[in-house]
Chain A
């Protein structure tokens, strides 16, 4: 009997043990589950990539054939569009399910369900700015059109077909690590993905910072710090282009209303860290036959986005009667976003136009309504519930006005009622952007391309175009606000003064910046100003001013080019900023120290060719010095309010051409400093920084081996100092790749920075009449960390090499293609 009791006791111990092994603890997954070979991470090795294989997928109407080539790109062949979209959903889920879902958790403000309380501020931000509200508006629009409804529903069905056949024990390892399982995909998630991209590319607004700067520094300084048109302006549409249309609104662009906001308060931007990265951007360009060896056009593109694993891009070929297209898409999106078909090729860069207005709110006494015009309008409310992992639900009511939510209020970052901000974001306007890609994928000629773009609204993009008949074009397309005065939309203004009809009005599509077959024989964009002062609308944004000039310079001189010359331009590391400003900076230096580091920095910078190559030390010194110069220059921008550091090209320009600019004066000294003193102080700081960085630490003595690694990874070499890292989406270091051997930086054509850079490099060469595509991205087709292909393309990408991609005419050719290997 005693034995029996002991037996029961042991059984209880086992049950308790299993209970604890089956329970995740904080960020540690349920260890029993996670380690068990039948259900744990070992088992997540079952669905890795497919290669050199042809598979059949049973779709709604018939079967689709998917031929995976040697790098894991699926070439999908179906008999009709429904089945094609279904199969695309299926294969995207097969390779990228976890990523697709995780992005949607982020977009919907549901990260707290996965990682707990720490994600609450970000989730609240996402819900307040209205990603889901925007997606719902778009979905209504999508459902009104039978084609887009079909696309989104077939795609969704395909994703779900994959999810439903997936064994729970074989789901990707990230699910097991975080401790959740896939949910069903929905059409709303497809719509939400577009808004997620809109957030990534447009949710960078500086109304708060501009208002503060204008208030603190005055109009004259403001205009120098944040000019609408920078020095050396080289817009997308060549300067002096005549616009042969009348603007919609009768207005005079010359009226200055910069002083629109007279409220003498400084605003805060408490959750600025959740804004998108203003440096995200892209390059694209194309040249026509007069500049190529073959006499046919070549088109290139490289979107600069966050460098993540799994990669944001996924390559695919889609083929059915009436459609045959190759390119990249974002997992979760149907169709091809950047690519080519038999007749045309296209790529996109971000327009960088400002599509956000912030307004100060005036409440009634009870704070249940807000002033609009002369009356008080009651708020509507969004009731949001945040489910929190290992915690109690968090609930909040968000005040909604006719133009958008009150984002910053007493519940979220701003205690002072007078400084509450309501935000109008253009992405909340209904749109059916999906149709733009649907028609682009099928476009046969230039007219088809223009018609397709008319569907496209947000995030505004520069769509570059080339076709087999030697036409080239570029159009900046989006649903842009009709801004009628300088300063419109750049400052906080009272919500009470808003004219809603005018706010929602848009520049007609045919009046968007556009050029076909320019006399210079190339088109290009690199996030610079789209137009010069002659364009009859105010086009404010946050523009770039170096990459565009390097690209335009190379293309102006191009002749007899082949795709290899284009590859060189993609990987061009010239720092125009250094070329334009470094000689002046060096001339400002006096009485630099006699220490080894000072001498080393000066001699390195003096002999620099201005190329930020991976193995060079000069860019390390130059960019650190630049950072220090900005810090010293803008010492006036204290922490009491939010400010924005002017674009580095403006600082560089002021440094060279306006060294007595008032901001160079250091605030807390009695003397008056100029750019020269600023540079000298910054240089001293830089020397101190690098002296500290290279000081042999006690740690290095530990073992010869460690010292060797430390020596090898010389901290001053650009590659190691910059430390380009391709980060796993869940920020898992073990799944990320760091210290990638690649040069470049922001404001350089090869815009490879620490955490973002060229996320897909594509060259489409029409040499033989038939387009040949070369492409590479820093990742791999399979998003499964258990796949060989997870990080496969990174090395080639870093070296500036490309894959020659297969564009098959039909299923038979594709199957023959893989059987040869």
Chain B
């Protein structure tokens, strides 16, 4: 279930950012949280990995395709501005972490807002064995 959620967040992030601004990833994570709400911690991690992995993979893909030409220039630019030397690897890490953090918080927020306790009750019911699937 956790893995599915991670994948859904990643895929939804990709789709939404095709036409939404960059923060479409936060919306993707938030919606997923709303729909599959359960424990906040679980959602936090799902958002973290969902968006984080998407950004990591996408940045890596673009950067390798570009043979690190632009990223190394941007790394130099940032180094000059902040006064410490940073590398392309640091840029990738910062990018990934930023996406991951946004995804994590958004997904958790979604889950917490939606969670009216029904899921927990259902889960307990399943455990006790007196939960019946509604079939038409």
Contact = CB atoms under 8 A, between A and B. Distances in A.
B133 to A, nearest CB: 26
A39 B69 contact: no
Given A735-B73, A785-B70, A35 B98 contact: yes
B102 A18 contact: yes
Contact of A734 (B40, B80, B98, B115): B80
Given A734-B77, A734-B80, A785-B73, A38 B102 contact: no
Contacts of A32: 22-23, 98, 102
Contacts of A40: 22, 95
Contact of B21 (A8, A39, A44): A39
B109 A39 contact: no
A48 interface: yes
A788 B74 CA distance: 15
| Central interface residue in A11, A40, A48, by most chain B CB within 10 Å | A11
Interface in B78-136: 79-81, 91, 94-95, 98-99, 102, 105-106, 108-116
Contacts of B106: 11, 14
Interface in B37-62: 40, 55, 58-59, 62
B58 A42 contact: yes
A149 to B, nearest CB: 39
B66 A4 contact: no
Given A39-B21, A45-B63, A17 B105 contact: yes
Contact of A7 (B59, B63, B71, B113): B113
Given A8-B113, A33-B21, A40-B22, A14 B70 contact: no
Nearest to A19: B23
A785 B108 CA distance: 39
Chain A contact residues, majority secondary structure: helix
A173 B70 contact: yes
A39 B17 contact: yes
Interface residues on chain B, size class:
35 or more
Given A3-B112, A37-B62, A735-B77, A42 B26 contact: no
B21 A10 contact: no
A43 B73 CA distance: 14
Contacts of B74: 41, 173, 734
B81 to A, nearest CB: 7
A45 B65 contact: yes
Contacts of B115: 3-4, 7
B40 to A, nearest CB: 8
B12 interface: no
Given A18-B23, A39-B21, A45 B109 contact: no
Nearest to A789: B69
B99 A36 contact: yes
Interface in A2-54: 3-4, 6-8, 10-11, 13-14, 17-18, 21-22, 28, 31-33, 35-46, 48
B25 interface: yes
A14 B25 contact: no
Interface in A773-787: 785-787
A46 B70 CA distance: 11
Contacts of B26: 14, 18
Contact of A48 (B58, B66, B95): B66
Contacts of B81: 28
A732 interface: yes
A733 interface: yes
B62 A43 contact: yes
A42 B23 contact: no
Nearest to A40: B22
A280 to B, nearest CB: 28
Nearest to A788: B69
A35 B95 contact: yes
A46 B81 CA distance: 26
Contacts of B62: 37, 42-43, 45-46
A22 B108 contact: no
A6 B112 contact: yes
B69 A7 contact: no
Contacts of B102: 14, 17-18, 32
Contacts of A41: 70-71, 74
Nearest to A44: B70
Contacts of A734: 73-74, 76-77, 79-80
B112 A10 contact: yes
Contacts of B65: 45
Contacts of B40: 3
| Central interface residue in A17, A22, A35, A44, by most chain B CB within 10 Å | A35
B73 A39 contact: no
Contacts of A38: 14, 17, 22, 24-25, 58
A790 B73 CA distance: 12
A32 B70 CA distance: 18
Contacts of B77: 177, 732-735
A35 B93 CA distance: 11
B109 A10 contact: yes
29 contacts: A4-B113, A7-B108, A7-B113, A7-B114, A11-B106, A11-B110, A14-B105, A18-B26, A21-B23, A22-B21, A22-B22, A22-B23, A31-B98, A32-B102, A35-B94, A35-B95, A36-B98, A38-B25, A39-B22, A40-B22, A41-B74, A45-B65, A733-B76, A734-B73, A734-B76, A734-B79, A785-B69, A785-B70, A786-B66
Q: Which 6 A-B pairs have the closest CB atoms?
A: A7-B112, A786-B70, A36-B22, A734-B77, A45-B66, A7-B113
